Structure 1
Amino acid sequence: MLTTALTDLWYGFGVAFEPQNLMWCFVGVLVGNMVGVLPGMGPLATISILLPLTFGIKPVGAILMLSGVFYGAQYGGAICSILLNLPCHPPHAVTCLDGFPLTKQGRGGAALGVTVISSFVGASWGITEMIFLAPVLVKVALEFGPTEICSLMLLGLLAGSTLARGSPLKGIAMTLVGLLLGIVGTDIETGTPRFTFGIPSLFDGIELVGLALGLFGIAEFMKSVNQFSDINTKYSNVSIRDLRPSREELRRSVPAMLRGTLIGSLCSLIPGTGPTIASFISYAAEKKISRTPEKFGTGMIEGVACPEASTHSSVQGDFIPTMSLGIPGDAVMALILGALLIQGIVPGPQLIKEHPDIFWGLIASFWIGNIMLVVLNVPMIGLWVKLLMIPYKYLYPSALFFVAIGVYSTNNDMFQVAETVVIGLVGYLLLLLDFHPASILLGFVLGPRFEENFRRAMLISRGDALVFVKHPISAFFLFLCVALILAQIYVRMRKPKAAADRSAPAPEFGAAGAAGVGTE
């Protein structure tokens, strides 16, 4: 098995080192690093904008570029968190807790150096995990029929909904909206138009590009356009010499980054968790096992190394279920899966066999891209910080311009531009109401495949719904679905009780305490 994996990896390096693929890999990580620094952009909005560009690129180059944007953005986000106390993206919010105090102590450069090492270690483990685990998953997945695939997709939809940010009920509601949007158009089996309202332009369904650009382009920009904050660059002057951590800092960082790497790799195998949850879990675990937990938040180097390693390990590991099973772990992975489908490539058990250039070329490009990111980050930190000086009022209209051009270029149809605007306005309202639309994309991408396998399973079983319980693998996935729902109910029921215990007034302050709770 080791010999086969090394042979396939060598083939992947041959694909990744082709000039055009190497160029797209560099473009991806460069753009990703840049948008990682800029607040309000992020990999989700950027990949949405770049999605129309992939129509004119060969499949391998397109996937290498989009993937590079995803993991490249994680490097850029750490710079702002440590030097400026500005968490541009959710996974790096926890890095601010110890990163910025280190910067104020004059050790910001060392924190960045440890971040680069942690990021590379975490990413390397995630890539190695993908090399050996994905083919094993493929062998198991080849035994799956429509029943097992349907149950697995249900688990992915539930996990992506309930483990996302905010209320699980809101996440499930957004997933259901995505499922409904996914079935708009002409039914492939019966030829019946569904939810088209007599509009001929909807007979082919809603385009993934329009949905993604509306939800994560227009809506996100509308939410961020009026947010202004003064950026303190007092501590941002860091030289290359400052990036070298001391021997003591390295000694304390290595065990922390190894633990964070392990936690991130485990989280990546659970659909719906993503790098944000992985970074917070790893930070909490590191604080729990520390001999000096009270010092966390005051400038502990372990508080930087552990979550950063976890974030990058999780990001690379997210590709395992997406590529080998066709189940995206989060919204970004759903977009990348959608990009593959646009190119006519179906992710799943047959991907490694039918498109080895994409699978092994992608894995090899991860190594190349992460080395590029290390080289880009170390000498160019000053440039990335200066990018934050660009006023958002200039970024916003230029981004909208590229959104409109990208949507129109897909089919040269103005209806799709109007469709994207409507989706963007609805997405903005959802954000104002604290509904996070990322789950919509998950439901939209998985919905048609879930329906297809459900109908196929029911046809084979002659309408017997118990077939999902009779098959052991399918029954196991359904058991996990029920366990996930019960776990969420249990957590939600305990939260009000825990909050009541914390806010309960002391006996000697009776009325005053009650009044305080009421006003709070």
Structure 2
Amino acid sequence: MDTLYSLADGFAVALTWQNVGLALLGCFLGTLMGALPGLGPSNGVAILIPLAFSLGLGATPSLILLTSVYYGAMYGGRISSILLNIPGDEPAMMTCLDGYPMAQAGRAGEALALSGIASFIGSFLATIGLALLAPQLVKIALLFGPAQYFALFVLAFATLGGISSTNQAKSAFAAALGLGLAMIGVDSQTGVPRFTFGETHLYDGIDFLVAIVGLFALSEVFVFLEHRHGGANKAAMDIGRLTPAPGVLKFTLPTMLRSSGLGFIAGVLPGAGASLGSFLAYSTEKRLVDKEGTFGTGDPRGVAAPEAGNNAAAGGALVPMLALGVPGSGTTAVLLAVLLSLNITPGPLLFTQQPDVVWGLIAALFIANFMLLAMNIPMVGLFTRLLLIPPRILMPVVAMVSFVGIYGISGSTFDLMVMIGFGVLGWVLRKFDVPLVPIILGTLLGNAMENNLRRAITIDNGNWGTLIDSPLSITLWTVAILGFVAPVIFGKVLKRRMKMAGSDESSTQD
């Protein structure tokens, strides 16, 4: 009952004209960002952070705008996957497998409508799960001490690095780089400047927002300048019927429900995120229901499963971010930076000290889901035409928003130079396939990780054994090790199976 009362208070916060308007704007912009190949939710949220701050919005309106962009981008990623066979973001890759064959068979409209309904069911059930699970996780988090929080941060790095890249060494390097960047500034305990090189602008450390906009948004501009993709995408404009038949909905509904549950679980796991939710949902459904071998040839269940899975994972990823202060995905790492920049510390005390922020956000997500369902079916033709925007027009707009927004927030030309530096760094790292999310995670959590380590060691008079002297700590360390090692093992197994499948196919053709 307490949850229902809190949620009712949240709807009182969310149902103001300003917040409803911001949710609608975020849903539209997010769907657009998700539909355009190469942007995706992380870049979409990063690009619009300066807009949210330059408008002078408060904490709750800013979060409503940016989380609506997040949900909208998860919806929008399916559009280019189905029409162009180009995933708008990484979680939408699995949608290409059956969505594009449906489009080639003249069923593009049905695939788009079905994927929109699957996205709605996944997001809606995940938001219910967020409202029910986050307060319970808070009760567990209150048992955490400094040693347990340090182990939790290690777990976040191990699992996020494992999912965001197929190369664990590159993920570990990116995390170490992020932790090194977090050390810049004046030491909070000794007052000694670290890695500032005499530059007074660095005494306060690296601004999270400057780093994020540079690494995500500006590096995308540099990638465009390198490859000079000037042409527009050729989208299939004849999308046909926009409403799936009732029989198809009944046929795919069990798939949507099962995939939503799997996706939500994947999202709650720190670091797993929507990509794992999409993959798990698709592969599980293929094993359960694909008796005729129709997956990959335009089976509607192959469209519904990954879309329900990745959208449910997006909602699930908000659970550890709000309850523990540990992001569940790359985009929630960006949202964590927004919270910290607003002087809001995510974690167990957030639900008691600032309930209006938390429950207003959760209520707004319920509203945004219905907005996205109403928007993504009748307006899908508009989003399809927006795919024709040439990158040579889009990328200068991204650069302009980045520069104007960051300067509007800080009024510092030094921050603009730092942003350019992070943009170049992001461009170089992307050329070497080094993931950017662990860098952001290290920059965000580095100081908290260091402070908890120091506090734990100090409490136990310099005894390092305090880090593993409780069952909870041992559990967290064990899961962290498994989370770091498991992707290596699974990656090798997956490569072996793909090689075997390829050899079987070639032998069949012979």
Task: Classify the TM-score, shorter chain.
Answer: over 0.9
Do 2:123 and 2:311's aligned partners in 1 also have CA atoms closer than 8 Å?
yes
Q: 2-side partners of 1:334 and 1:149: how far apart?
A: 17
Q: Give how far 1:52 is off.
A: 2.8
Q: 1:231 aligns with which of 227, 230, 233?
A: 233
2:204 counterpart SS class: coil
1:7 corresponds in structure 2 to: 5
1:381 is matched with: 380
Partner of 1:164: 164
The aligned counterpart of 2:46 is 48
Tell me if structure 2 keeps the 8 A contact 1:330–1:442.
Answer: no
* Aligned twin of 2:147: 147
Please say which of residues 94-103 and 64-73 is displaced more in the overlay.
Answer: 94-103
* Structure 2 Cα separation of the partners of residues 291 and 277 of structure 1: 20
Q: Structure 1 residues 197 and 370, CA, compared in 2 at 3 Å: closer, same or farther?
A: same
- The CA deviation at 1:503 is 8.9
Letter in 1 for 2:24: F
Q: Distance in 1 between matches of 2:114 and 2:79?
A: 12
What per-residue deviation string (whole Å, max 9, x for no partner) do you get for residues 206-234 of structure 1? 11111111110111222234235663434
In structure 1, what is the Cα distance between the partners aligned to 2:323 and 2:164?
Answer: 22
Q: Determine whether 1:125 maps to 2:125.
A: yes
Distance in 1, matches of 2:360 and 2:64, equals: 8
Structure 1 residue 341: Cα displacement: 0.9
- Residue 16 of structure 2 corresponds to 18
Distance 1:9 1:498, change over 3 A: closer
Confirm or deny: 8 A CA contact 1:237 1:382 kept in the other structure: no
What's the secondary structure of 2:94's corresponding residue?
coil
The one-character-per-residue Cα deviations of 1:419-471 (angstroms, maximum 9, x if unpaired) are 11111111111111111212111111111111111111111111111112112
Equivalent in the alignment of 1:512: none
Shift of 1:501: 7.2
Aligned to 2:437: 438
Greater than 6 Å deviation, 4+ residue runs: 495-505
Could you report, residue by residue, the CA deviation over 1:50-70 in whole angstroms, capped at 9, with x for unpaired residues? 223333111000000110011
Report the aligned-residue RMSD.
2.1
Which amino acid is the alignment partner of residue 416 of structure 1? D
Q: Determine the structure 2 residue equivalent to 1:351.
A: 350
Q: Distance in 1 between matches of 2:113 and 2:60?
A: 32
Instruction: Rate the CA distance shift 1:282–1:501 in 2: closer, same or farther, 3 A.
Output: closer
Query: SS where residue 379 of structure 1 aligns?
Result: coil
| Equivalent residue number for residue 508 of structure 2 | none
Separation in structure 2 between the aligned mates of residue 390 and residue 493 of structure 1, nearest angstrom: 39
Bigger mean CA deviation after superposition, 372-381 or 132-141 = 372-381
In structure 1, the partner of 2:507 is none
Q: Distance in 2 between matches of 1:498 and 1:110?
A: 32
Farther-moved stretch of structure 1 (173-182 vs 377-386): 377-386
With 49-58 and 255-264 compared, the bigger mean Cα shift is at 49-58
Whole-Å Cα distance in 2 between the matches of residues 449 and 176 of structure 1? Answer: 15
- In 2, Cα distance between the equivalents of 1:373 and 1:44? 18
Instruction: Please give the per-residue CA displacement for 1:66-120, whole angstroms capped at 9, x wherever unaligned.
Output: 1001110111221222233231211111111111211222222222221122111
1:173-252 paired onto structure 2 within 5 Å: 173-225=173-225, 226-227=228-229, 231-234=233-236, 236-238=237-239, 242-252=241-251
Aligned equivalents of 1:268, 1:113: Cα separation in 2: 24
User: Are the equivalent residues in 2 in contact too, given 1:287–1:293 (CA < 8 A)?
Assistant: no
Kindly, what percent of the aligned residue pairs are identical? Answer: 35
Aligned residue pairs, count: 501
CA deviation profile, 1:119-151 (whole Å, cap 9, x unmatched): 111111101111111111111111111111111
TM-score (norm 1): 0.92
**Aligned runs of 1:277-426 on 2, under 5 Å?**
277-292=276-291, 294-426=293-425
185 and 119 in structure 1: CA distance in 2 versus 1, 3 angstrom threshold: same
- State the secondary structure of the residue aligned to 2:464: coil
Taking structure 1 as reference, are residues 461 and 128 closer, same or farther at Cα in structure 2, changes over 3 Å only? same
Q: Which amino acid aligns with 2:235?
A: T
CA distance in structure 1 between the partners assigned to 2:394 and 2:503 by the alignment: 48
Q: Distance in 2 between matches of 1:493 and 1:298?
A: 27
Q: Say whether the 8 Å CA contact 2:81–2:92 is kept in structure 1.
A: yes
Inter-CA distance 247–501: structure 2 relative to 1 (3 Å threshold): closer
Do the aligned partners of residues 293 and 319 (structure 1) sit closer, same or farther apart at CA in structure 2, a change above 3 Å counting?
A: farther
Distance apart, 1:492 and its partner CA = 5.9
Following superposition, the deviation at residue 394 of structure 1 comes to 1.0
Superposed displacement of residue 289, structure 1: 1.6
SS in 2 for 1:258: helix
Q: Give the Cα separation in 2 of the matches to 1:52 and 1:151.
A: 33
Instruction: Identify unmatched segments of 5+ residues in structure 1.
Output: 506-520
Provide the residue aligned with 1:510 in structure 2.
none
Structure 1 equivalent of residue 58 of structure 2? 58
CA distance 1:495–1:362, shift in 2 (3 Å): closer
